[in-house]
Amino acid sequence: MSDEATALRTPVVPTQLPIRLIDEDGVAIDGQRAAGFALPSPETLIGLYRQMVLARRFDAQVTALTRQGRLATYPSALGQEACEISAVAALRPQDWLFPTYRDTIALLSRGVFPLEILSFFRGDWHAGFDPHEHRVSPQSTPLATQALHAVGLAAAARLRGDDTVALALLGDGATSEGDAHEAFNFASVWHSPVVFLIQNNQWAISVPFDKQSNARTLADRAIGYGMPGYFVDGNDVAAMFAVVSSAVEFARAGNGPTIIEGLTYRMEAHTNSDDPTRYRSTEDEARWRRLDPLDRIEKYLVGSGALTETVRADIAERAEVLAAATRDAMNADPVIDPLELFDHVYQTPRPALLEQREFLARELAETDAVVAS
C-alpha cells in the first residue's frame, strides 16, 4: 500500500462518490476516484474475470433448474458478481466466510461442490457441505445473524492469537436489523478481525434503499462505530478486490474491523417467487444492465490486451462444463430420509420434537402403504 493509501486507513468520512478503478466503458481510472488504491495485476484481474464467468453461468443454470422445478427456491446474484467474487478472492484458506442466501456463487468460488451447495435450496438437508472443510458458514436466511457469528468467530481467533479473518456478507436491507448494529459495535469495541461487506443492491425485496436509510451511504455508518468505512463501485471488480483485500489484511494485522459498501444492483427478481415489475421500472433495470460488472472487466481486459480470444474461449468452455455437471447432478433424484429433519436439532431431543417425529413417521408409513396397495 502507498503512504497515501495508509493515510486513508482511518478515514473520517468515506468518499462521496464510490471508489472506482475501471469505469463503465472498461477504461482504467487514475487519481481521485481511485482513492489511493492501485489497479490489481493483469493476472489477478484475469483470475477474477474467470471466476465471474463461471459464477454467472452457474447462476443462469441454477435459475433454469429452479424454473424446471428441480429446486424449491433460488435467490439469484446476477449482477452482483464483482462483490461476491472479490469477497472470496480476498480471503486466505484459514479465513472464514459468513454468507447469506444470496451468496451461492461466493460458495462456488470458495470451492464448495454445486450439489452440496444446492441441496439446501432443494430442501434436502440443513446444509449440504461441511462448514469446517471450506471455512464457510451455512447460508444465513435470518437477516444479519451471520454478522454476529462472524464477530464471535473473529473475537475468538483474536483471543487465541491466530491470524484468521472473518468476512460477513450483508444486504442493504439487513443493515436495518438490530443484529447488524450489534455486530458492528461489538466488532469495533473488541477490535475483532472482521470485514463487513454490504452489497447494496438497492432493494430489500420490494423496499428501495431510500426507504431503509437516510444516511448518505451505508459506509458512512462506520464513522459512528469508530472504524474505517469505504464506499465502492460494487460493479467494478478491480476496485472491490483492491478495497476488500486491503481491509482483510488490515484486520489480519490487528487493526480491527472495516465496513465496505459495494454499490450494485440485483438484476434478477428477489427469488423465483418474486415479480419485480410490481415495484421497479424497466428503465431502471435497463440502466443497470448497461453497468454490468462482467461486461466492464471484459472490456478492460480485451482493451488492454490481457484477455486473448484463446483464454476467453477456454474460460467459456469451462463454464459450460460446470453448467452441464450442475444439470446432471441436480437432475438425479436425491435419496433422502425426511425423518433426518429432526436430527441434530438438540443433543437430547425434547418431547415435543419426538412427538412430531413420530407423527411424521406414521404419515410416511401410511403413504408407503397407499403407494404399495
Residue 192: phi and psi, rounded to 5, are -80, 145
Told to check if 102 binds ligand TPP by CB under 6 A, we report yes
The region of 107-115, 172-180, 290-298, 352-360 touching ligand TPP under the rule CB under 6 A is 172-180
Q: Which residues pair with 258 in a beta bridge?
A: 195
Q: Please state the closest distance from residue 174 (CB atom) to ligand TPP, in A.
A: 4
β-pair partners for 19: 232
In the complex, minimum distance from the CB of residue 167 to ligand TPP, in angstroms, rounded to a whole number: 16
Nine-digit cell at 48?
477474477
Determine the 3-state secondary structure of 218 from DSSP.
Answer: coil
Q: Which of 158, 68, 70, 81 is nearest to 121 (CA)?
A: 70
3-state helix, strand, coil in the chain (%, to 5): 50, 10, 40
- Binding piece for ligand TPP, criterion CB under 6 A, among 30-38, 113-121, 148-156, 170-178: 170-178
Query: Does 266 participate in binding ligand TPP (rule CB under 6 A)?
Result: yes
The question of whether 126 is a catalytic residue gets the answer: no
Q: Are 260 and 219 in contact (CB under 8 A)?
A: yes
* Residue of closest CB approach to ligand TPP: 171
234 part of the interface to ligand TPP, by CB under 6 A? no
Q: Pick between residue 144 and residue 294 the one whose CB is nearest to ligand TPP.
A: 144
Contact 240, 232 (CB under 8 A): yes
Does residue 346 carry a catalytic annotation?
no
Residue count at the site for ligand TPP (CB under 6 A)? Answer: 15
> Judged by CB, which is closer to ligand TPP: 168, or 319?
168
C-beta of 46 vs 151, nearer to ligand TPP: 151
Helix intervals (H) in the chain: 3-7, 42-67, 81-89, 104-109, 114-122, 131-134, 145-160, 178-190, 221-225, 237-252, 282-289, 293-303, 309-331, 351-372
Stretches 9-17, 138-146, 287-295, 336-344: which one binds ligand TPP (CB under 6 A)?
A: 138-146
Is residue 73 within the footprint of ligand TPP (CB under 6 A)? Answer: no
The reply to whether 149 belongs to the active site is no
Could you list the residues that contact ligand TPP (CB under 6 A)?
Answer: 102, 141-143, 171-174, 177, 201, 203-205, 266, 270
What are the catalytic residues? Answer: 266, 270, 279
